[in-house]
Amino acid sequence: MNVIQEVVGKGWCIGCGMCAAVCPRNRLEIRWNERGEYNPVEMDGCADCGKKCSLCYQVCPAHGNTKNETEIGREWYGDVKGIQQTDETGYYLSSYVGYSNKNDHRKNGASGSGAPYGAVGEK
């Protein structure tokens, strides 16, 4: 089972790119489709790779058979010493807020004037 038939073919792909990133055979590449959306395409013929692999399908968040984020977070981080969890944030060790006070970083920054590249740790 791979994502081309099971996700892209059913119109469920959200273009996250995880499938292409994890494919051990480099058979998937993310490209624009005819509607201007990112979708994976097969690069080298995946005719039967899904029978032996299906990794792309397992990591894909766009079909209904995936675990939810809380389950995945619990499995990966639930036993970490000092871990905290809330429904709003998921699992975390600590949380910080900051911004750059250099030049016009804050005024020109994206994502709510957060830290642009290189700003973390600047004083």
d(CA 94, CA 40): 35
Binding flag, residue 72, ligand SF4 (CB under 6 A): no
Residue of 8, 100, 105, 116 interacting with ligand SF4 (CB under 6 A): 8
Choose one: 56-64, 66-74, 75-83, 88-96; the region binding ligand SF4 (CB under 6 A). Answer: 56-64
Choose one: 47-55, 72-80, 94-102, 111-119; the region binding ligand SF4 (CB under 6 A). Answer: 47-55
Binding-residue pattern over the window 22 to 41 for ligand SF4, x denoting contact by CB under 6 A: -x-x-xx-----------x-
Which amino acid type is present at position 75? E
d(CA 27, CA 36): 21
